Amino acid sequence: MMTRSSCALLFMSVALFSIPLFSTQSLAQVKPAGLNASETLAPVAWLAGGTWVTDIKDPSGGTTTHVENHIRWAPNHQAIEFNANFNGKPHYNGFYAYNPATKTIGFYYTNSEGQFSTGTATADADGKTIHQDLEINEPNGKTNHVRSTLVRDGDNAYWFAVFLQKDGEWVQEFKLRYERK
């Protein structure tokens, strides 16, 4: 039979041993702080908003390809999405996102011909130039290493250049000016 003092001792023991248990359970349920994409994606955030346009003139034929690149924050505000149309037809679909494991900005995109590309985007300290290093995976399985730069020209324009390796050197393949509309 339990006496009043043994009941009190049992109650105190249960209470004392339960405090750490409840404390750790409540700590385990604390949600970790989310990433602030406005900070982690700041180097590329200036691209979001509006439509960036350029016209590419074919040097051999005189035809022009009109490019419209729609860039916006993803609905969850953890990525910056882009969709580029060539002459009104979908061509590129992708996004930039922060990779917390590598602490880099990655980007991923596909094109209408079946390419899949992945890379990283790194900004210069002044925030004006973004260097992109990427692998383009062709539908036939071949992979091409490519570099590109985006050089900001005010709030509503940038220069986009693509570089390919030739004889071990990085050579500019082309350069385009995009304007925000």
DSSP codes, 103-127: TEEEEEEEETTS-EEEEEEEE-TTS
Give the model confidence (pLDDT) of 131-170 as tens digits.
999 999 999 999 999 999 999 999 999 999 999 999 999 9
Tell me: do 24 and 46 sit in the same domain: no
Question: Which residue has better confidence, 115 or 35?
Answer: 115
Domain count, the chain: 2
SS3 for 156? Answer: coil
Q: Which domain holds residue 171?
A: 37-180
Confidence grade of residue 4 (pLDDT, cut at 50, 70, 90): low
User: Do 56 and 13 belong to one domain?
Assistant: no
pTM: 0.80
CB-facing half-sphere around the CA of 99: CA atoms within 13 A: 15
Q: In this structure, are 7 and 92 located in the same domain? A: no
pLDDT exceeds cutoff 70 at 26 = no
Write out the two tokens for 22.
């409840």
Same domain, yes or no, for 136 and 76? yes
User: Given pLDDT bands bounded at 50, 70 and 90, which one contains residue 22?
Assistant: very low
The one-letter code for the residue type at 1 is M
Are 64 and 142 found together in one domain?
yes
| Mean pLDDT, range 79-93, rounded to an integer | 98
Q: Please give the mean pLDDT across all residues of the chain.
A: 87
